[in-house]
Structure 1
Amino acid sequence: MPVDHYENFPVASVLVPPRLRKPIEIIYRFARSADDIADEGDATPEERLAGLAAYQAELERIASGSAPQTPLFAALAEIIAAHALPIQLFRDLLDAFAQDVVKKRYADYPELLDYCRRSANPVGRLVLHLFGRTEDLHLMQSDCICTALQLINFWQDVAIDWQKDRVYIPQTDFPHFQVSEDDIAANRWSANWAALMDFEIDRASTLMLRGAPLVHALPGRLGWEIRLTIQGGLRILERIRRTRGDVFNRRPKLGKWDWLVLAGRSLTM
């Protein structure tokens, strides 16, 4: 299970009920294509923001009851109406993607969590709306899982994000562990860096375990999908910890044999 982009979330797998595969595919296409506008290719920041503004204009047409002008948003309008999906969740995603274009550093952990609230959590909440499970406890647990997945992606991709001049490790954490961005620039591992990564791993795993009880409140197939998603994220954290945080030379990823581990662990949740 890759932990990258929106593959962090259930995307019409065989475990998702057939009637909900199309809505989930459409949500995924919206999130992935908007993320690509903000992140892929060689467009200028101004061009990226213009592309996201065009997406925002389409959302506002849906909100006002007007017909969208593109096939993606026509399909999105249908599932929003059919499942009473909150349009603000789509706005939040676009807001986070636009932020990625212009903001490259996060002062502290609360600021990073606010970004995750808009960049990751809306997708989980949309899935819960599709299944009609929108109790406050379940939404909170979903937020914990989605934020944890986003953080895991950040810790996994420290070196990759550096190439885009992005640092998601909170700035206040560096001096506490006596490391700096210079260590990232030099791909320099140290015991202090390992301690920093252990600290960040603990943050993500705590959130993931706080959200994990959600699986018991969800229908069979979705519950198993989320079990595998949670275990995939935790497995990545294990890999980072096993290398003592050396994400510069050994970026953690999962292989086909990990599916056996994930399946086995999912049975005991």
Structure 2
Amino acid sequence: MSDTYAVDHYENFPVASLLLPPAMRRPIAIVYRFARTADDFADEGDHGPAERLALLDGYRAELDRLEAGLAPQSALFADLRDQVLVPHKVPVQLFRDLLDAFSQDVVKTRFADFGEVMHYCRRSANPVGRIVLHLAGQAGSKQLAWSDGICAALQLINFWQDVAVDWQKQRVYLPQDELARFGVTEAQIAAAQVDANWRALMAFQIDRTRRLLRAGSPLGTTLPGRLGLEIRLTVLGGDAILKKIEAADYDVFRRRPKLGALDWPMLLLRAIFPRAIRS
């Protein structure tokens, strides 16, 4: 990936966008390159599970080298050291957490309950927000907690809009105990069947996700300048996806709910005026 944000994958939310302070764009682009390539090791191509895990272990070995003060063996990790870890004192453990989540993707395809899902989010999504706060010099305890709420909610939103996509990868992120509680089976997911039970299940997921997203929303009004604007826009974008799922009567099978070019101007306008974030 370039040092801007040209990507081959659809993204719901801005990555190293022009809204961010200029000094943050290159470090965030490097972090994104790390996360995107590691995620691709777990998901893309024709590798078997053992090969995927070996590729991720190669990234772990590079982190080991950096922690040991040894020279990295790739340009990506040299950039990570010089632009992210050393100047901003970003904890290496956050990158290890991401790798752990990607490794889990290779071997785990079902989640017993919501606690397991949130444990995954803690490693797959929350580290990204925490890294951004460290880069911005805003990693206070309240800011980190708000960020965790937003990032976990964004991960959940991705799960709910991608039920059909994940099914093709033989993954189900909807908690197994909640599927049973609402009377929804995996055969129903395979058949893309939207009935009263499915709607009730998805309404429950969206309500809980929205509450989590909004619980973290004060981050966007407390962070200064462009970064605060970026966070507000991200929160509004997440909520807009949830509204699109609701507007589709919870049918995420026939058309993937996502943000389009016409959505962003209104979201940006609302982000500029923070009071609108809860409307």
Q: TM-score range by the shorter chain?
A: over 0.9
Report the alpha carbon displacement of residue 8 of structure 1 after superposing the two structures with TM.
Answer: 5.2
Which residues in structure 2 correspond to 1:85-124 (within 5 Å)? Answer: 85-124=90-129
- What is the DSSP-based 3-state SS (H/G/I as helix, E as strand, rest coil) of the residue aligned with 1:172? helix
Superposition deviation, residue 44 in structure 1: 0.4
The question of 1:159 aligning with 2:159 is answered no
- Does residue 260 (structure 1) correspond to residue 260 (structure 2)? The answer is no
Match of 1:177 in 2: 182
What secondary structure does 1:13 align onto?
A: coil
Kept in 1, the 8 Å contact 2:12–2:258? The answer is no
Pairing 1:142–2:150 present: no
Task: Name the counterpart of 2:137.
Answer: 132
Paired letter, 1:50: A
2:233 to 228, 233, 256: 228
Task: Quote how far apart the aligned CAs of 1:11 are.
Answer: 2.0
| Residue identity in the other structure for 2:57 | A
Once the two structures are overlaid, the 10-residue window that deviates more, 251-260 or 40-49, is 251-260
Alignment check: 8 A CA contact 1:120 1:150 kept:
yes
- The 8 Å contact of residues 6 and 32 in structure 1, kept in 2 or not, is answered as no
C-alpha distance in 2 between matches for 1:30 and 1:125: 15
Taking the aligned partners of 2:9 and 2:155, their CA distance within structure 1 comes to 9
When the two chains are superposed, the root-mean-square deviation of aligned CA atoms in Å is: 1.4
**CA offset at residue 260 of structure 1?**
2.4
Identify the residue that residue 77 of structure 2 maps to in structure 1.
Answer: 73
* Matched residues, number: 266
> 2:33 and 2:97 mapped to 1: Cα distance?
16
Tell me whether 1:246 sits opposite 2:251 in the alignment: yes
TM-aligned CA deviation for residue 10 of structure 1 = 4.5
**What is the CA-CA distance between 1:9 and the residue it aligns to?**
5.6
Q: Distance in 2 between matches of 1:105 and 1:222?
A: 35
| 2:49 aligned partner | 45
Give 1:6 shift: 8.8
In 1, Cα distance between the equivalents of 2:10 and 2:99? Answer: 14
1:195 aligns with one of 200, 221, 226: 200
In structure 2, distance between residues paired with 1:224 and 1:159: 32
* TM-score, normalised by the number of residues in structure 1: 0.96
Work out whether residues 6 and 28 of structure 1, in 8 Å CA contact, stay in contact via their aligned partners in 2. Answer: no
Please, which runs of 5 or more residues in structure 1 have no aligned partner? none
The offset of 1:145, in angstroms, is 0.3
Name the residue aligned to 1:17.
21
Correspondence 1:84 to 2:93: no
Q: Is the 8 A contact 1:8 1:149 kept in 2?
A: no
Give the 3-state SS of the residue equivalent to 2:217 in structure 1: helix
Segments of 4+ in structure 1 off by > 3 A? 4-10
Deviation track 1:209-259 (CA, whole Å, cap 9, x = no partner) reads 000000122121011111111111100000101112100112111111111
Partner of 2:65: 61
Q: Which letter does structure 1 place at the counterpart of 2:40?
A: D
Task: Give the letter aligned to residue 231 of structure 2.
Answer: I
Q: Give the whole-Å Cα distance in 1 for the aligned partners of 2:103 and 2:13.
A: 21
Report deviation, 1:153: 0.2
For 2:12 and 2:116, locate their aligned partners in 1 and report how far apart those are by CA, in whole Å. 21
Question: Unpaired runs of 5+ in structure 2?
Answer: 1-7
Q: Measure how far apart 1:265 and its partner are.
A: 2.5
2:12–2:259 Cα contact (<8 Å) kept: no
Name the CA distance, whole Å, in 2 between partners of 1:144 and 1:214. Answer: 10
Q: Relative contact order (alpha carbons < 8 A, sep ≥ 6): 1 or 2 greater?
A: 1
Q: Deviations over 1:117-166 (max 9, x none)?
A: 00000000000001111111110000000000000000000001000000
TM-score (structure 2 length as normaliser):
0.93
**2:4 maps to what in 1?**
none
